[in-house]
Amino acid sequence: MGNRQEKKISIRNLSDREFFYGHKGCPGCGGSLALRLALKVFGERSYAVVPAGCMSAVGFIFPQMAFTCNAIISTFPGTASMLSGVAAGARALGIKDFHAVGFAGDGGTADIGLQALSGAIDRHEKIIYICYDNEAYMNTGVQKSALTPAGARTATSPVGNRLRGAVTQKKPMFEIVAAHGVDYAATASVGYPLDYLRKLEYASQVDGTSYIHVFTPCPIGWGYETSDTIAVAKNAVDCGLWYLAEFSNGRFTLTHNPSEFISVQDYLLGQSRFRHLQEEDLQGIITMRDLKWSNIHREWFS
């Protein structure tokens, strides 16, 4: 386990260099911001591994290459396994002071990539795994993933006479990763960029596997104005449907503990994917939120 660096990362000392530039991400893309900020923290000695998904689709279209550091597209299930190979290869070749960093979406992490991620954590691979969570398969046209929240309309969780969007709860990836005894895990949101930066910096110093699950709204898939990405990402935290936390040395901690929540209804109904929800659906979501927070307070702070 690395020591937490005392120098606090801030806007003032964050690198001016851009490592993800000229990409074809949609206007207002939260995922590309998460990736851009992460590489500023990890720097030029990074090997970025990006599976099939939004960020690979927008970043490497021959001859337009948007990464300015080393980067490679992995297979869809293969983010963590390719990261393991990159790290092992670099180690075996005697390369020092590098970061092997993965950027996978929610489907690439919680669905098809979970097996490889689990194995890499089990081996305590010295890798950093960032899950940019835009809550559906966006690149293929907004289909439901295991991280799509209950009630969200996607192309494969439609709204009709029988169903009102996704019927499953968002898979608790952060807790699943933590249950492996991972060296470091955190949740973050691009609505709280300084909290995210601090977690990135910590992850860069961990001698083992780090996992950061960053909440990255998608204006196209969620149905809100492109200018609202940061606001939506912040509101998700402020209404209690997302939370900012860390796991290290076997302990969970909150890095942001709201004393009261803003309106869940306002957060949800501001996005077209939730606009079909009826009062009972909204109350159900609030009930689940309250249950989660009571669990957090009971289990993390006992």
Partner 1 sequence: MMLEQKAFLSGNEAVAAGVRLARPHVIAAYPITPQTTVIERLAEMVEDESLKAEYLNVESEHSALSACIGASAVGARTFTATSSQGLLYMAECLHYASGGRFPVVMMNANRSVALPWNIYGDQRDSLSLLDCGWIQAYAENAQESLDLIIQAYAIAEHPDVLTPMMINLDGFVITHTYELVSLPSQEGVDAFLPPFQTVNKMDLDHPMSLAFTAGPAYNQAFKQLQHQAVLSALKVILDTEERFGQLFGRNYSGLIESIHCEDAEFIIVTLGSVAGTVKPVVERLRSLGERVGLVRIRYMRPFPDREIRKALAGAKAVGVLEKDISFGYEGTVFTNVNSALMRSKVIQPRLLNFIGGLGGKDISVADIERLFLRLKSPDDGETVGFI
Partner 2 sequence: MNYPLRQNSFKPPEKLADYPVGTAFPAGHLVDTNASWRSRRPVIDAEKCSNCRICWLICPDGVIHNTTPGGLEIDYDYCKGCGICAKECRQNAIHMENEGI
Site of interaction with partner 2 (CB under 8 A): 11, 14, 16-18, 20-30, 32-33, 36-37, 62-71, 190, 193, 219, 225-231
| Among partner 1, partner 2, none, partner that 29 touches (CB below 5 to 8 angstroms by kind) | partner 2
CB of 55 to partner 1, least distance (A): 12
Q: What is the sign, positive or negative, of the torsion defined by CA atoms of 146, 231, 195, 8?
A: positive
Question: Rounded distance, CA 171 to CA 135, Å?
Answer: 10
Instruction: Report if residue 61 touches partner 1, rule: CB under 8 A.
Output: yes
Give the span between the Cα atoms of 49 and 36, in whole angstroms: 14
3-state secondary structure of 113: coil
Determine contact, residues 189/130, Cβ cutoff 8 Å.
no
Place of tokens 């077209």: 272
Pick between residue 30 and residue 165 the one whose CB is nearest to partner 2. Answer: 30
Size of the residue set binding partner 1 (CB under 8 A): 45
**Residue whose C-alpha is closest to residue 147's, from 58, 246, 53:** 53
Q: Dig out the tokens for 77 from the structure.
A: 């299930």
Q: Are 104 and 51 in contact (CB under 8 A)?
A: yes
- 74 contact, one of partner 2, partner 1, none, CB 5-8 Å limit per kind: partner 1
Q: Which is nearer to partner 2, 176 or 200 (CB)?
A: 200
Quick one: what does residue 192 bind among partner 2, partner 1, none, with the CB cut-off 5 to 8 Å set by partner type?
none
Q: How far is the CB of 96 from partner 1 (least distance, A)?
A: 10
Q: Which of residues 110-129 bind partner 1 (CB under 8 A)?
A: 115-116, 118-119, 122-123
Under the binding rule (CB under 8 A), the answer on residue 98 touching partner 1 is: yes
Cβ distance to partner 1 smaller for residue 38 or 49: 49
Distance CA 284, CA 280 (A): 6
Q: Does the protein bind partner 1 through residue 140 (CB under 8 A)?
A: no
78 touching partner 1, by CB under 8 A: yes
Bridge partners of residue 74, in order along the sequence: 51
Q: What are the start-end ranges of the H helices in 152-243?
A: 173-179, 193-203, 219-222, 229-238
Between 132 and 174, name the residue whose CB sits nearer to partner 2.
132
User: In terms of CB distance, is 68 or 253 closer to partner 1?
Assistant: 68
The answer to whether residue 26 forms part of the interface with partner 1 (CB under 8 A) is no
Nearer to partner 1 among residue 116 and residue 136 (C-beta) = 116
22 binding partner (options partner 1, partner 2, none; Cβ < 5 to 8 Å by kind): partner 2
CA atoms within 13 A on the CB side of 39: 25
Q: Are strands 99-105 and 46-51 parallel, antiparallel or unpaired?
A: parallel
105's enclosing H/E stretch is strand 99-105
Binding site for partner 1 (CB under 8 A): 44-45, 47, 49, 56-57, 59-63, 65, 67-75, 77-78, 80-93, 95, 98, 115-116, 118-119, 122-123
